[in-house]
Amino acid sequence: MTEDDSDSEVSPSTAGDGLGARRRRADAEQNFSRIIEATVELMQRDPAPGIDQIAAAANLGRATVYRHFANRAELLEAARRQALEDEVVEASDGTADAPNLGDATAEIFDIGELFNRVPPHLLGDQVVAEARRLPGVSSAALYVVDIDGSRLLRFAGSQEFPSELRAPLAVGPEIPREGIANLRRLLADELPGSVAAPLYLRGRAIGLLLAVGAKQTTLDMLARQAAPAIDLAERYTDGFAVARRHKTISAAGEIQQNLLPPRVVQMTGATLAGNVLPSYDVGGDWYDCAENSDGAWLAVADATGKGASAASLGALALGAFRAARRSGANLEQAVSAIHEAVLSVSESRAVVTAVIGRWHAPSATFTWINCGHPFPALITPDGNLHPLKTPPSKALGAEGSGDPGWTSDSIHLTAGERLILYCDGVTDRRNATGGQLGLNGIKDAVINARNTSAAATLKAIEGAVTDACTDPVEDDATLIVLTPTPPSETIASPPNQ
């Protein structure tokens, strides 16, 4: 089957027709993004590249390009819009100057003044009201992403806008920058009269502002102010958390959800994407990341058991991890602190397995301790998967005589490689034949990822987990993907915006 034959479109109305329909839709989204990315890159050298050039750069046929874009002018306009989107993201990260917003004629609210004046649960309504004050705007709506990363849910604004929208390539409740092109494509089909501005915060979107009649630049400016205000407001109200859930979450799932850090993280020398599926019920898994002066700490962990007991044990382990590193502990001391904490309450012999590590950007080195957990995996630039099989230490909280003997291992990562940390809910996922997804399933998913970014890789693996069979995910599926930044792009992490 050729690339052209595989790129069949699926409308939103057929999205529930089965695994085959979802895969075809994912293929179409992947090809669309490849076309846009190739065009943006070519336009840096030639402002008007030809269709043949674009198709060759995207490794697709002309027919696929024309299936997504009626003509070259439409494609070039979409690429120009994506290039501006990239500028806005870089400006929100503090890594580049903001784009020229000379046509912004309305005063944008001051984030601090607004937050102090408006009750947190009404902040969404206020953002919509500010959007309606912009010249030419007749109606507006604010959307947040649900915790599954499957849809955008209208939080505030006019009921003229749909109550929900599909969210291509979202990672949990966040949309990475490479997912915005497909989202704009979806909106162009479903809401062609609307202008969309993602709420960017450090390289990922935490929501979406839609308006009719707005200028793109002024709406982008408003969205950039609204994003940190909403991020802050979520600490003071349940309103946003309620909006992100489209089904009831268990107590264990709620504990788990509140433990998680951002899903997409730009850090010195690397990009990270992490998530937990299904996020609604089991509750024993967690992952964590934090960049400090001694490097970026990363961890994935799995507490034995299910429900509230597993969630409580996992929360204790995470608390011990954070307390240790905030007290100046090194890697071995942090692992020992978690072990002692779990051991102190583990009357039923429950344990926590984990990979606890640290990314050191200057040497591009990841150092880790494996505590009875599945081996990390390295994806090479050619798509091969290599488990990093080193003798693991015993699980955290496991009883036994003598020193546990925490042993660390290190690996140097180069551009194009991807490091994957995961829990057994990923590899043990049952497939339609009764087997398990396994490492081969991860490898196949990575090969079919839209690109080699951390977010796209994670999303491809999550897709393999959910598509393995029609049964609900029976265990937490937790993973982290870390991708080194090419040397020419490496910068010090700016302060949070």
- Other CB atoms within 10 A of residue 478 CB: 25
Average pLDDT, integer, range 446-456: 88
Band of residue 309 on the pLDDT scale cut at 50, 70, 90: confident
Most confident option among 195-199, 276-280, 432-436: 195-199
251-489, what's its fold? Phosphatase 2c; domain 1 (3.60.40)
> Does the structure show a pLDDT above 70 at 253?
yes
CA–CA separation, 296 and 250 (whole Å): 31
Residues near 188 by Cβ (< 8 Å), separated by ≥ 6? none
Is residue 428 pLDDT above 80, yes or no?
yes
Residue with tokens 């709620």: 254
pLDDT tier for residue 487 given thresholds of 50, 70 and 90:
low
Q: What's the order of all strands across the beta sheet hosting 377-379?
A: 264-267, 270-277, 477-484, 418-422, 377-379, 385-387
Residue 169: per-residue pLDDT: 76
Given a cut of 90, is residue 430 above it in pLDDT? Answer: no
Residue 383 pLDDT exceeds 60: yes
Element (H, E) at 253: helix 251-259
The CATH code of the domain at 102-243 is 3.30.450.40
CA distance 370 to 55: 44
- Whether pLDDT at 442 is above 70: yes
Helical H runs in 295-407? 307-326, 331-345
**Where do the structural domains in the chain lie, given as residue ranges?**
3-80, 102-243, 251-489
3-state secondary structure of 480: strand
179-190 pLDDT, tens digit per residue, is 888 888 889 889
146 and 173 Cβ atoms separated by less than 8 Å:
yes
pLDDT for 19-64, tens place per residue?
Answer: 566 566 667 777 887 888 888 888 777 777 888 888 888 888 888 8
**Residue pointed to by tokens 């909006």:** 243
Asked if residue 384 lies in contact with residue 364, where contact means CB atoms within 8 angstroms, the answer is no
Whether residue 311 has pLDDT greater than 90: no
Positive/negative CA dihedral, 237, 163, 211, 66: positive
- Look at residue 272 in the predicted model and tell me its pLDDT: 96
Q: What are phi and psi of 98, to 5 degrees?
A: -65, 145
Burial 171-194 (b: 16+ CB within 10 A, else e): bbbbbbbbbbbbbbbbbeeebeeb
**Whole-number percent of the chain with pLDDT over 90:** 43
Token reading at 334: 């942090």
Question: How far is the C-alpha of 247 from the C-alpha of 418, rounded, in Å?
Answer: 33
Mean pLDDT of 270-295: 85
The average confidence (pLDDT) of the chain is 83
330: Cβ contacts below 8 Å, ≥ 6 apart: none
Q: Which of 36-45, 150-159, 241-250, 463-472 has the highest mean pLDDT?
A: 150-159
Higher-confidence residue of 394 and 299: namely 299
So what's the pLDDT on residue 19?
56
pLDDT tens digit sequence for 226-245:
999 999 899 899 999 888 88
Rg, the chain, Cα only: 23
Residue 391 has pLDDT above 70, yes or no: yes
Residue range 300-328: mean pLDDT, rounded:
91
pLDDT value at 376 more than 90? yes
Pairing of strands 151-157, 477-484: unpaired
Say whether 251-489 and 102-243 share the same fold: no
Which stretches does DSSP call E strand in 312-436?
352-360, 365-371, 377-379, 385-387, 408-412, 418-422
175-176/164-166 β-pairing? unpaired
Most confident of 222-226, 408-412, 475-479: 408-412
More confident residue, 138 or 150: 138
Give me the mean pLDDT over the 70-96 stretch.
67
360: pLDDT confidence band, cut at 50, 70 and 90?
very high
